[in-house]
Every structure is written in structure tokens, then in C-alpha cells.
Amino acid sequence: MAGALALAVPAVPAAAPPPFETLRWTAPGAELAALTTQPAACLGTASVEIQAGEALFNSPRLLGGQAAKAGLSCAGCHVNGRDNAHFLMAAVSDRAGTADVTHSFFGAARGNGRFDPVAIPDLARPGKVSRDSAGGALESFVRALIVDEFAGREPTPAMLAAIAAYVRAIAPCPDGDPPVRRALDDQLRLTVSALRGAIGMARRGDAAAARALLAAARHQLGLIAERYPAPPFGAERRDLLAASRALADLDGKAADGDGFTTALSTWRAGFENGLAQRLRRHEARSLYNPANLAFVAPQQDNR
């Protein structure tokens, strides 16, 4: 296949690693598009549960094995719950926009020994799997995806319910779905959704779900860091890292009830009033601005 290359793979620093996670599964030539645009999302009113589901859907650590190690989440294939026309991964895709989700590369349980990639579906459209909440077909499908296909750990029932609620809420936009710009706000929104979700899950006594949501929030902070290189953003990067570590420190306290939820609320207030504001002020100078991404313009094939 076109994009899969072997000794073009730099093992070591001589060539830099992909600076943006998403480019690990982006077709050649589509780098700039993947970094700057995304399919539109029209969720309507999003409850805390739906927001938690969306945060988990965007978290690679919901999955296990190769996907998690690569930083691939549900949203890597279903951007904003839709599709991903640019998705391309060696031996998992046969052309951009396709994936073989029954490949033992991700997990053995559903490996079917064949290479049979299919187009990644837009989850806003009706598909094979019933979205009807009676019967729970969607919940079982998603559970099998996480555990069997992507070798992830067993999600708690509340995590599954949240992801299913999110998937059910994904809808086409009334204006005909023009692609929209990627922006800092995507990450800020998902970070806050994850925290709200974590507080909700902790209140229900679901510490595992709360921890999964903390991991989801930390991942979003990492995605922000990708867009704020040092120099000039050394201070912002340090603060992002410190914010992430503060969440990591809370990881072991997810079963602590009030202490945990209070600490998360404090973190959130500090983040929203402090670092998030600074990041917003600098967004135009960051790598969210397509004008600053000229260096990712499609590369010549120099082999």
C-alpha cells in the first residue's frame, strides 16, 4: 500500500518523531487538513453523561494494546463521532478512510485472520447497530469493541452507558455538515467534560470510571501541548504538565468521596480561570492557527 514504510521509519532521534499524534494515522498529503479541520459535530443539548461519554470516546486509554500505545481513540477513526476520510494506517487500512477492525494487530479476540478493511462509518447515520436504547445492542457492541477488538480493560456499566449515550446523541448538522476548524476550544471543552464526568462518576461511587476520565482529561492537556511549542511557550508547557501531574496525583484518591470531588472542582476552577485563559489569549500564535502550520504542508516523497 501507498503509505507504509519500512526503513523510512526513523528509529531514533536522527529524524524527529511525529510532532502531532493524529499524523500517525493520517494519509500522505492530508496532514494539514487533518490538523486544521474536522467533521462538524451537532450534539444538541449534552448532559453530563453524554459529555463524559464524549470524553471517553476521545481517550486512547479507554482502549488497550496497540491502539492505546499509539494514542488512538475511538475519535481517531470517528472524528467528532463522524468518520475520518484521512485515516490511513499500514496493514489496517487499504486506502484512506478505511480500517480493518477485526485485525489481531489491535487485539486477538476478534482477529479473523483476514485483511478486510471497510469504510469507517459516520456514526451520525443509521447503521448496522441499532441505536435503540431498549435491548442495549449498542452497549454490547461498544463493549466488544473496547475489550475484544482493542484489548482494553473491561469498562464499568456507567462508562458504557455514557459512551452509548454519546453515540446516540451524535447527529448530522442541519446546515449540511460543512467541515469546521479545529481549535483550542475542542480540547478545553473535552477537558472540562472529562472533569465534570469524573466528579459525577465519583459521586456515584464509580472510582474506575472517575480514573478513566482523569486519564481522558490528561490526554487532552497533552494535545494542547502539541500546539504550544517551546519557544515561545515554555511557561505554558510547564503549566500544562503541572496541571496534568496534579490530576495524576488525584488518581489514587478517586475512591475518597468528597475530598476527591472538592479537589477536582478546585483544579477545574484554577484551570479555567488561569491557564485556559492564557492559552486562549495566545491561540492565534499557537499551532492551532493554520497560518503557523506551513511546515506540515504535504511532503515530497523522497525515497
Confirm or reject binding of residue 101 to ligand HEC (CB under 6 A): yes
| CB of 32 vs other proteins, minimal distance in Å | 12
Burial of 141 (0-12, 13-18, 19+ CB in 10 A): middle
Confirm or reject binding of residue 146 to ligand HEC (CB under 6 A): yes
Binding partner of residue 88 among ligand HEC, other proteins, none, CB under 5 to 8 Å per kind? other proteins
* Residue with smaller CB distance to ligand HEC, 77 or 202: 77
Of 55, 120, 151, 221, the one binding ligand HEC (CB under 6 A) is 120
Q: Quote the CA–CA distance of 157 and 189 in Å, as a whole number.
A: 24
Binders of other proteins among 38-97, rule CB under 8 A? 60-61, 64-66, 68-71, 88-92
Q: How many residues bind ligand HEC (CB under 6 A)?
A: 22
User: Looking at beta carbons, which pairs linking 193-196 to residues 24 or more positions away fall under 8 Å?
Assistant: 193/46, 193/51, 193/52, 193/54, 193/55, 194/52, 194/55, 194/59, 194/220, 195/264, 195/267, 195/268, 196/48, 196/51, 196/52
Confirm or reject binding of residue 241 to other proteins (CB under 8 A): yes
In a 13 Å sphere around the CA of 239, the CA atoms on its Cβ side amount to 15
Strand, coil or helix: what is 92?
coil
Task: Tell me how far CA of residue 239 lies from CA of 107, 122, 148, 266, in angstroms.
Answer: 36, 36, 37, 16
| CB of 81 vs ligand HEC, minimal distance in Å | 8
| Residue 42: how many other CB atoms lie within 10 Å | 16
Burial of 246 (0-12, 13-18, 19+ CB in 10 A): middle
Binding partner of residue 290 among ligand HEC, other proteins, none, CB under 5 to 8 Å per kind? none
Confirm or reject binding of residue 225 to other proteins (CB under 8 A): yes
| CB of 62 vs ligand HEC, minimal distance in Å | 6
Of 39, 60, 71, 76, the one binding ligand HEC (CB under 6 A) is 76
Binders of other proteins among 277-296, rule CB under 8 A? 287, 295
Residues that bind ligand HEC (CB under 6 A): 57, 67, 72, 74, 76-78, 99, 101, 118, 120-121, 123, 127-129, 141-142, 145-146, 163, 167
